[in-house]
């Protein structure tokens, strides 16, 4: 009876509701619930001791009021917590994602494939070459005199006395002819190496396309028609070709090929040095000595060949100021093409 007498139902209800109201988290609310409704709470102890109906009803009304307040507060806190989580863990699928960098083929690789396609379209085959060659294939077979300047280690990069990095793709001609009999219509594209000091127009390595056609009755007219087709495919259907005499040990006659300037169409401008023509590369009729070297009879078969630089094609087509830009691997440069 002492305890009951000490309990003030209205005061208890007041402080309980205040505690419930003050709870900011579910944990705090649980603390308040234990304090005011728990087994050892003032209210529960009083209820256990109550003897008269009136006091019991009053205390139960207080209990119901507190339970109701706790339940309502619990629901409010749970809703707030859910809303907080929804707000902070939200995924906005409309936000731009992290961009993935897409690579693409190097400009010279693009041109390499383009040239391959042009020749595949004419029925040629694409043949692999070797970047490390012997002096036999690079010089002897190509009819180069024993004192020819490219034999010098000052000009070429030797691996041993008789092996070196190829200075041109022409030895691919020899490997192909040795491996089979005419008719041969092939191109071979790849890297070449020279002991050159890099500057705007020189690089110690660059790429060439080598072409070779050998059959009965191949003439200079075949050379001219084929290379004019290549020039037009590369530089535009209106282009004209100019063939002037030149010298290469492995061709006779040898011809330098030029294309009518695709900027001024032959009028004369800065691009073509006011000549109207842009030199593209060497060509010629395969020298009888080369045919004999691989066991062909020059009285029976004849052929034409050419060897042009791929970087030069890229530089001309895009007006590039410096060959070194192509191999500096600066993505800001390479992404433009
Ligand atoms: N190999 C020569 C060079 O690198 C280019 C060349 C000229 C190749 C005439 C040929 C050719 O096949 O017939 O300068």
CB 211 within 8 A of CB 285: no
Domain annotation covers residue 33: yes
Q: 210: phi > 0 → left, psi -120 to 50 → alpha, else beta; which?
A: beta
Element (H, E) at 88: helix 53-88
Mean of the pLDDT values across residues 246-255?
98
Mean of the pLDDT values across residues 28-50?
91
Residue 55: pLDDT band with limits 50, 70, 90: confident
Domain annotation covers residue 94: no
For residue 300, the CA-to-ligand 1 centroid distance in Å is 23
- In angstroms, the CA 8 to CA 188 distance is 105
Task: Based on the fold, state whether residues 131 and 209 are members of the same structural domain.
Answer: yes
Scanning the structure block, which residue is given the tokens 């390479």?
334
Mean of the pLDDT values across residues 144-167?
96
- In angstroms, the CA 337 to CA 332 distance is 10
Task: Based on the fold, state whether residues 112 and 22 are members of the same structural domain.
Answer: no
CB 184 within 8 A of CB 190: no
CB 248 within 8 A of CB 284: yes
Task: Based on the fold, state whether residues 225 and 324 are members of the same structural domain.
Answer: yes
Residue of 306, 308, 309, 311 to test ligand 1 pocket, by largest number of atoms within 8 Å of CB: 306
Mean of the pLDDT values across residues 109-136?
98
Domain annotation covers residue 99: no
Q: Would you say the CB of residue 188 lies under 6 angstroms from ligand 1? A: no
Task: Based on the fold, state whether residues 312 and 181 are members of the same structural domain.
Answer: yes
Task: Based on the fold, state whether residues 10 and 129 are members of the same structural domain.
Answer: no
CB 260 within 8 A of CB 239: yes
Q: Would you say the CB of residue 303 lies under 6 angstroms from ligand 1? A: no
**Which residue is closest in CA terms to ligand 1's atom 6?**
307
Mean pLDDT of the chain: 94
With CA atoms as reference, report the closest residue to 246 among 234, 235, 256, 258: 256
- Poorest-pLDDT segment among 2-6, 96-100, 103-107, 206-210: 2-6
CB 59 within 8 A of CB 41: no
Mean of the pLDDT values across residues 246-269?
94
Other residues' Cβ atoms within 10 Å of the Cβ of residue 188 = 24
Mean of the pLDDT values across residues 141-170?
97
For residue 96, the CA-to-ligand 1 centroid distance in Å is 53
- In angstroms, the CA 288 to CA 297 distance is 8
Which two structure tokens, joined as six digits, stand for 73? 């507060």
Residue 1: the pLDDT is: 46
Q: Which of 53, 88, 123 is the last residue before a domain boundary? A: 88
Counting from 1 in the atom list of ligand 1, the atom nearest the Cα of 250 is 13
CB 230 within 8 A of CB 241: no
**Which residue is closest in CA terms to ligand 1's atom 4?**
168
Asked whether residue 268 carries a pLDDT value surpassing 80, the answer given is yes
The alpha carbons of the chain give a radius of gyration, in whole angstroms, of 45
For residue 209, the CA-to-ligand 1 centroid distance in Å is 9
DSSP string, 137-160: IIIITTT--TT-GGGSTTTS-BSS
Range of the domain at 239: 107-334
Asked whether residue 6 carries a pLDDT value surpassing 80, the answer given is no
**Which residue is closest in CA terms to ligand 1's atom 12?**
306
Domain annotation covers residue 173: yes
- In angstroms, the CA 262 to CA 255 distance is 21
Domain annotation covers residue 93: no
Residue 3: the pLDDT is: 52
Task: Based on the fold, state whether residues 80 and 129 are members of the same structural domain.
Answer: no
**Which residue is closest in CA terms to ligand 1's atom 8?**
307
Mean of the pLDDT values across residues 234-247?
96
User: What digits encode the pLDDT tens for the residues 212-225?
Assistant: 999 999 999 999 99
Task: Based on the fold, state whether residues 123 and 80 are members of the same structural domain.
Answer: no
User: What digits encode the pLDDT tens for the residues 156-194?
Assistant: 999 999 999 999 999 999 999 999 999 999 999 999 999
Residue 266: pLDDT band with limits 50, 70, 90: confident
pLDDT: which is higher, 123 or 319: 123
Counting from 1 in the atom list of ligand 1, the atom nearest the Cα of 210 is 12
Exposure string of 265-287, with b = 16+ CB inside 10 Å and e = fewer, is ebeeeeebeeebbbbbbbbbbbb
Domain annotation covers residue 101: no
- In angstroms, the CA 55 to CA 63 distance is 12
Count of domains observed in the chain: 2
Asked whether residue 2 carries a pLDDT value surpassing 70, the answer given is no
Task: Based on the fold, state whether residues 118 and 81 are members of the same structural domain.
Answer: no
Asked whether residue 202 carries a pLDDT value surpassing 80, the answer given is yes
Question: Phi and psi at residue 162, in whole multiples of 5°?
Answer: -120, 5
Q: Would you say the CB of residue 133 lies under 6 angstroms from ligand 1? A: no
Residue 87: pLDDT band with limits 50, 70, 90: confident
Task: Based on the fold, state whether residues 73 and 122 are members of the same structural domain.
Answer: no
DSSP string, 283-307: EEEEPHHHHHHTT--TTT-EEEEEE
- In angstroms, the CA 52 to CA 98 distance is 73
Counting from 1 in the atom list of ligand 1, the atom nearest the Cα of 286 is 13
Q: Which of 55, 88, 121 is the last residue before a domain boundary? A: 88
Task: Based on the fold, state whether residues 195 and 237 are members of the same structural domain.
Answer: yes
pTM over 0.95, yes/no: no
Which two structure tokens, joined as six digits, stand for 19? 């505690």
Q: Would you say the CB of residue 276 lies under 6 angstroms from ligand 1? A: no
Domain annotation covers residue 82: yes
For the chain, the first-to-last Cα distance in angstroms comes to: 97
Question: Phi and psi at residue 107, in whole multiples of 5°?
Answer: -50, -45
Task: Based on the fold, state whether residues 281 and 323 are members of the same structural domain.
Answer: yes
Domain annotation covers residue 52: yes
Element (H, E) at 83: helix 53-88
For residue 211, the CA-to-ligand 1 centroid distance in Å is 9
For residue 188, the CA-to-ligand 1 centroid distance in Å is 12
By three-state DSSP, how is residue 127 classified? coil
CATH number at residue 171: 3.30.930.10
Task: Based on the fold, state whether residues 75 and 143 are members of the same structural domain.
Answer: no
Q: Would you say the CB of residue 305 lies under 6 angstroms from ligand 1? A: yes
Which two structure tokens, joined as six digits, stand for 117? 């396609």
Q: Would you say the CB of residue 248 lies under 6 angstroms from ligand 1? A: yes
User: What digits encode the pLDDT tens for the residues 16-37?
Assistant: 999 999 999 999 999 999 999 9
For residue 1, the CA-to-ligand 1 centroid distance in Å is 121
For residue 166, the CA-to-ligand 1 centroid distance in Å is 12
């Amino acid at each position: 009876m002492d305890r009951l007498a000490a309990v003030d139902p209205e005061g208890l209800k007041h402080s309980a509701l205040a505690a419930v109201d003050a709870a900011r988290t579910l944990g705090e609310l649980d603390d308040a619930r234990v304090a005011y409704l728990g087994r050892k709470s003032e209210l529960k102890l009083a209820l256990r001791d109550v003897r008269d109906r009136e006091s019991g009803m009053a205390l139960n009304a207080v209990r119901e009021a507190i339970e109701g307040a706790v339940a309502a507060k619990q629901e409010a806190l749970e809703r707030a917590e859910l809303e907080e989580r929804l707000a902070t863990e939200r995924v906005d699928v409309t936000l731009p994602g992290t961009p993935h960098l897409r690579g693409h083929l190097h400009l010279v690789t693009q041109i390499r494939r383009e040239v391959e396609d042009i020749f595949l379209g004419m029925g040629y085959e694409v043949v692999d070459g070797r970047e490390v060659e012997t002096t036999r294939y690079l010089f002897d077979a190509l009819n180069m005199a024993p004192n020819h300047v490219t034999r010098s280690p000052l000009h070429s990069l030797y691996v041993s006395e008789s092996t070196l990095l190829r200075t041109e793709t022409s030895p691919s001609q020899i490997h192909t002819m040795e491996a089979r009999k005419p008719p041969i219509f092939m191109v071979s594209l790849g890297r070449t190496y020279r002991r050159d000091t890099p500057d705007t127009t020189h690089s110690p390595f660059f790429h060439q396309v080598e072409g070779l056609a050998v059959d009965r009755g191949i003439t200079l007219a075949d050379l001219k028609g084929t290379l004019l087709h290549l020039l037009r495919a590369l530089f535009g259907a209106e282009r004209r070709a100019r063939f002037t005499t030149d010298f290469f040990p492995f061709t006779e006659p040898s011809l330098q090929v030029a294309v009518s300037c695709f900027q001024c169409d032959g009028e004369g401008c800065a691009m073509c040095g006011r000549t109207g023509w842009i030199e593209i590369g060497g060509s010629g009729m395969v020298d009888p000595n080369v045919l004999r070297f691989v066991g062909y009879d020059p009285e029976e078969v004849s052929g034409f060949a050419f060897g042009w630089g791929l970087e030069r094609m890229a530089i001309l087509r895009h007006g590039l100021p410096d060959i070194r830009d192509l191999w500096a691997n600066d993505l800001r440069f390479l992404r433009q093409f």
